[in-house]
């Protein structure tokens, strides 16, 4: 049973999907006006892991993450550089894919819609909101009327409407009825991209795009909506208001928000000068290390980014890979009076149980990794002394489990051979294939010659029942 901490109820809740065996999930994506920073990388990596975990548990996942490709910041950047907003968006969407490929996001089957390709859907929702009395047109803009929904507004951010009212700056506005009302549609200004609408030329506000895109790809009610903590208010709060008022349905059932990233103990911000782009960090650290570092903490906790933490992640990864390599080596030196690896067998069963229960409890990747490290420790111990064929089975299963969890579920692909190593193994496999053919033709002299020559090069081969294995 998977449990999720739902921001909406502030409780750990049992996950019950809208459709049995399936998960529909929407996560707010980046506004594409710059390269992504670490604060964007954390949700990208975490929610990718959520998707992978659901798949590991047998669910069919539909995962949507948008690109905000029309926005004030994009327009500003386009004007500064003297190019169109679209050119800016295209450039940074491409850069997004370049950067995130290095932290191994699973793109297969993902839906990545762009806001500008869904303007029609947004206009439709805005029209419905006006018809139902939840929005009004004013001088070419359209605003959501917070008063019309005041009883249910702020349910996600758990704020008080009165506090918000008194906290709002007294805006002298002839356009909005209340300073809390938010824009659904903005009248076109000089030098801005715009679209036709029933209210004249203009462009959508930010919040409406996520309602339109989630409705289109996941339906009016879907399972999970995610994003960084900073999106709870106003973005997600406003998404809920407009979606519920337009459709009357439930919108997203579970709201998941990840914590901030601190840099050496301080909040990451442009003004503090400690703002890190993912591509800059990737120049110093392998994407797998960044990914492991991010998953080493529980997603709701703030995470402290520092060289020391990344170095620790690097050491952890090496420890896992070394144990797996040692295990592989042990598999080719089986001795009949070796160990059956009973302790490892027990630890493997325990690790499987612990990993799933940690991840089932609100995606606790940190505890899940703990289970893997315990297994790694026991694997190292097991291969310190010779193993027998029963022991080899256990070692093999342990290696496979570690590799599945790390590479497939957590997305930290274990590198068990370097590039030269890969070429070597392909060559050895090829030579072994030649040897198999020689044996099939009963050319024992050739078969022995190949074996001896390989041995001279330090490559030991071992003929098993139906497979020949080798080690260097
Ligand atoms: Zn959004």
Q: What is the DSSP string of 50-88?
A: HHHHHHHTT-EEEEEE-BB-SSHHHHHHHHHHTS-HHHH
- Digit-coded pLDDT (tens) for 374-384: 999 999 999 99
296-300, 314-318, 436-440: segment of lowest average pLDDT: 436-440
Q: How far is the CA of 140 from the centre of ligand 1 (A)?
A: 24
> Would you state the pLDDT for residue 460?
84
Say how many Å lie between the CA of residue 42 and the centre of ligand 1: 16
User: How far, in Å, is the centroid of ligand 1 from the Cα of 236?
Assistant: 7
CA 206 to ligand 1 center in whole angstroms? 8
Residue 66 CA to ligand 1 center (angstroms) comes to 8
Position 418 pLDDT exceeds 60? no
Distance 237 CA to ligand 1 centre (A): 10
What pLDDT is recorded for position 376?
98
Spatial CA neighbour of 324 closest among 199, 414, 447: 414
Average pLDDT, the chain: 93
What are 44's two structure tokens?
Answer: 């990208």
pLDDT of amino acid 32: 97
Give the residue carrying structure tokens 């070394």.
322
Residue 18 has pLDDT above 90, yes or no: yes
Question: pLDDT per residue over 33-85, tens digit each?
Answer: 999 999 999 999 999 999 999 999 999 999 999 999 999 999 999 999 999 99
Q: How far is the CA of 226 from the centre of ligand 1 (A)?
A: 9
Bridge partners of 267, per DSSP, are 262
Report, as an integer, the average pLDDT of 423-449. 88
Distance 228 CA to ligand 1 centre (A): 10
Confidence at residue 416, expressed as pLDDT on a 0 to 100 scale: 78
Ligand 1 center from residue 73 Cα (angstroms)? 16
Residue 19 is classified by DSSP as S
pLDDT at 430 over 80: yes
Domains of the chain: 3-294 (3.40.50.620), 306-409 (1.20.120.640), 425-471 (no CATH)
- Select the more confidently predicted residue: 127 or 466: 127
* Tokens read off for 317: 């990864």
Beta strands in 60-168 (DSSP E): 60-65, 135-138, 141-144
CA 89 / ligand 1 centre spacing (Å)? 17
Distance 70 CA to ligand 1 centre (A): 13
**Residues, beta carbon < 5 Å, ion ligand 1:** 28, 210
Helix (H) or strand (E) holding 334: strand 334-339
* CA 418 to centroid of ligand 1, rounded, Å: 40
The answer, yes or no, to whether residue 333 has pLDDT greater than 90, is: no
Q: What is the pTM of this model?
A: 0.88
- The β-bridge relationship of strands 202-204 and 222-228 is unpaired
Residue the block writes with tokens 């999930």 = 25
Q: Tell me: the pLDDT tens digits for 441-472?
A: 999 999 999 999 998 888 888 887 777 877 77
Share of the chain above pLDDT 70, in %: 97
pLDDT tens digits, 254-293: 999 999 999 888 887 777 777 799 999 999 999 999 999 9
Q: What would the pLDDT profile of 238-256 be if each residue is shown by its tens digit?
A: 999 999 999 988 999 999 9
Does position 25 have pLDDT exceeding 70, yes or no?
yes
Q: Distance, CA 68 to ligand 1 centroid (Å)?
A: 8
């Amino acid at each position: 049973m998977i449990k999720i901490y739902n921001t909406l109820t502030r409780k750990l809740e049992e996950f019950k999907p809208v459709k049995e065996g399936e998960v529909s999930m929407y996560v707010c994506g980046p506004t594409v006006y710059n390269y992504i920073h670490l604060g964007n990388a954390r949700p990208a990596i975490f929610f990718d892991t959520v998707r992978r975990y659901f798949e590991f548990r047998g669910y069919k996942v539909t995962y949507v993450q948008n690109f905000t490709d029309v926005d004030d910041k994009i327009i500003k950047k386009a004007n500064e550089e003297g190019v169109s907003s679209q050119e800016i968006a295209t450039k940074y969407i491409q850069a997004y894919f370049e950067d995130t490929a290095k932290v191994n996001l699973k793109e297969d089957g993902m839906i990545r819609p762009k806001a500008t390709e869904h303007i029609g859907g947004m206009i439709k929702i805005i029209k419905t909101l006006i018809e139902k009395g939840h929005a009004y047109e004013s001088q070419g803009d359209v605003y959501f009327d917070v008063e019309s929904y005041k009883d249910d507004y702020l349910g996600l951010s758990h704020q008080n409407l009165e506090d918000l009212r008194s906290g709002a700056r007294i805006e002298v506005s002839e356009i909005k009825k209340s300073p809390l009302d938010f824009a659904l549609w903005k009248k076109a200004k000089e030098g801005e991209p715009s679209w036709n609408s029933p209210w004249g030329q203009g462009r959508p506000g930010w919040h409406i795009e996520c309602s339109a895109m989630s409705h289109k790809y996941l339906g009016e009610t879907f399972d999970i909506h995610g994003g960084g903590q900073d999106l709870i208010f106003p973005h997600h709060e406003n998404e809920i208001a407009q979606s519920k008022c337009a459709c009357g349905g439930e919108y997203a059932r579970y709201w998941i928000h990840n914590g901030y990233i601190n840099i050496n103990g301080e909040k990451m911000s442009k003004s503090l000068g400690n703002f890190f782009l993912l591509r800059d960090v990737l120049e110093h650290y392998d994407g797998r290390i960044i990914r492991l570092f991010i998953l080493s903490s529980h997603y709701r906790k703030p995470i402290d980014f520092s060289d020391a933490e990344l170095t620790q992640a690097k050491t952890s990864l090496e420890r896992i890979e070394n144990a797996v390599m040692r295990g592989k080596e042990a598999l080719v030196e089986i001795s009949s009076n070796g160990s059956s690896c009973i302790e490892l067998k027990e630890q493997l069963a325990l690790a499987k149980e612990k990993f799933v229960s940690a991840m089932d409890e609100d995606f606790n990747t940190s505890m899940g990794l703990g289970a893997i490290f315990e297994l790694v420790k026991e694997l190292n111990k097991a291969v310190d002394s010779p193993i027998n064929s029963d022991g080899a089975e256990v070692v093999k299963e342990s290696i496979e489990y570690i590799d599945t969890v790390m590479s497939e579920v957590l997305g930290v692909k274990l590198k068990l051979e370097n590039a030269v190593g890969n070429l070597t193994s392909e060559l050895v496999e090829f030579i072994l294939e030649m040897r198999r053919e020689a044996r099939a033709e009963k050319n024992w002299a050739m078969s022995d010659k190949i074996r001896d020559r390989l041995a001279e090069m330090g490559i030991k081969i071992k003929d098993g029942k139906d497979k020949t294995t080798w080690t260097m």
